[in-house]
Amino acid sequence: MESLDGKVAWITGAGSGIGRACAVAFARAGARVALTGRRLPPLEETAVLTGAPAGDVVIAPADVSDAAAVAAAHAKIVAALGDPLVLVNSAGGNVKQRHWGNLAPASASEVIDLDLKAMFYCTLAALPAMRARGDGRIVHIASQAGVSLTPITGPSYMAAKHAVVALSRSLNAEEGIHGIRSSCLSPGEVETPILNTRPVPPTAEEGALMLQPEDVAEVALFCATLPRRAWVTELVLLPTDDRLVRAQAHAIETLVGAPLPPSLAKSFGSN
């Protein structure tokens, strides 16, 4: 595995959840970390949690759905730490009224701006220096909603995350010749503050069975430290006891040892 000692890792969405966990994990691996998010106080908390010396962490607040704000944050990071070798695109969000029956155009635009356009803006900012160096590692935090049908997340979120998968594939296809590697991590349910925007947030008991931000951060760190000849292009990380299929699993369990009725055989498959 390649060392990140002294290398610069730029993490968006660093004020909470997966972004915060990535900041802590990368700092502990020796990286100098740049923290971007909308609100300054949470970023300051993350900076403390990293345990990094003051000179090895920079806070660059920005609304990453704003291209000009991203450019300004990137310039601040480069001036303070140098060009990022690693970019972790972790910023994301959703809205409570997210389904076709109550989704407003402005809300759809808000979700797409944050969950898709922001990844373009940050990638475009970091890419020229990565190309010039001949080495760059980009980790996009997508979602299970980007690789399968998960109606609970709503159409805007699903559409954005599916597009992130395509964005990452395109980067690998065009930029691999320049030593740039893009990985798309698609976690299932993760216990983060974004769950509070659901129309019916999960209970604490349900959250405890979900992935934790640190789980995703460890996978992101693994990807970013692979030898240059190798890369994980896409990875789906799910909870062991996945709430989205739990009811089906229990239904199957009750039928063990008995032939499946035709209706269930059709739903679960005959093999």
Distances (CA, A) of 29 to 2, 22, 163, 186, 196: 10, 10, 30, 23, 31
Q: Are residues 250 and 185 in the same domain?
A: no
In the chain, how many H helices and how many E strands? Answer: 10, 7
Burial class, 147, CB count within 10 angstroms (exposed 0-12 / middle 13-18 / buried 19+): middle
Identify whether residues 227 and 271 lie together within a single domain: no
Same domain, 158 and 267: no
For the record, the structure tokens of 41 come out as 């106080």
pLDDT of 264 strictly over 70: no
Are residues 220 and 257 both part of a single domain? no
CATH of the domain at 161: 3.40.50.720
In this predicted structure, the answer to whether residue 226 has a pLDDT above a threshold of 90 is yes
Q: Are residues 222 and 258 in the same domain?
A: no
Give the structural domain span for 254.
245-271
Asked, for residue 73, whether it belongs to a domain, the answer is yes
Say whether both 25 and 149 belong to one domain. yes
What pLDDT is recorded for position 250? 83
Q: What is the mean pLDDT of residues 113-132?
A: 98
Question: Are 123 and 160 within one domain?
Answer: yes
Residue 3 in domain: no
Give 172-205 pLDDT, tens digit per residue: 999 999 999 999 999 999 998 888 888 888 888 9
Instruction: Write down the pTM of the prediction.
Output: 0.90
Beta-bridge mates of residue 8: 32
- Catalytic positions, written as ranges: 157
